[in-house]
Copies of this chain bind each other. A is one copy, B any other.
Amino acid sequence: MTYPPLIQKLIDLFSKFPTVGPRTATRLVFYLLRSSKGEIEELIKSISALKQEIKICPFCFNFFEGEGELCQICADPSRDKTLLCIVEKESDLISIEKTKKYNGLYFILGGTVSTLKKEDIKKIRTEELLERIKNPEKFGISQADFKELIIATNPTTEGEATALYLERILKPLNKKITRLGRGLPVGGELEYADEETLSSALESRK
């Protein structure tokens, strides 16, 4: 006796989610089984809408919805177009935005490199980053002239390796390259830093 195939199938699908093991997946499925028809429909509608209505910004690679070609940040004329902040992932961008201490543009790398092997480097958007710094207007950003590139990777081993690699490939562009100040606890994750710590890290960048 195991679970009915349909239940087992959904347990397997949920088990693929990050941080979800088979036991948690089982709990999630039983939660759904106990939910009302309306709640299930709401969930399905919400998941479907995600793929249909969420767009990726051609400049910074952030997810956004609504009219327009660019995301809300890239489309905002009041943002400082001399600053570009390079982050690992979308939630890091949100964390920095919440500090309200940064008014420049962003670029989402989409990951980190742990080794400098070619197949590893291909996983992050380094080519795309270089293209956007050199020709921002090609990607919808007019009147941009980046003077400072802020490497805001996480203070983890992979984040550090990525930062060192980025510094090397960005150096030939002859721009000011900065890193987030070491107010951040080493070994931690940017996503978990409180806004105060992240604020001071932004201010003490050098």
Contact = CB atoms under 8 A, between A and B. Distances in A.
B31 A1 contact: no
A97 B1 contact: yes
A78 interface: no
A24 B20 CA distance: 9
B72 A10 contact: no
Contacts of A7: 50, 54, 63, 65
Copies of this protein chain in the complex: 2
Interface in A1-54: 1-7, 9-10, 13, 17-20, 23-24, 26-33, 37, 40, 42-44, 46-51, 53-54
A165 interface: no
A146 interface: no
Contacts of A10: 46-47, 50
A161 interface: no
A33 B54 contact: yes
A10 B90 CA distance: 16
A91 B54 contact: no
A43 B54 contact: no
19 contacts: A1-B73, A1-B93, A1-B94, A1-B98, A6-B46, A7-B63, A9-B46, A13-B43, A17-B31, A19-B24, A23-B191, A29-B50, A30-B89, A30-B90, A32-B50, A32-B51, A33-B51, A40-B48, A44-B44
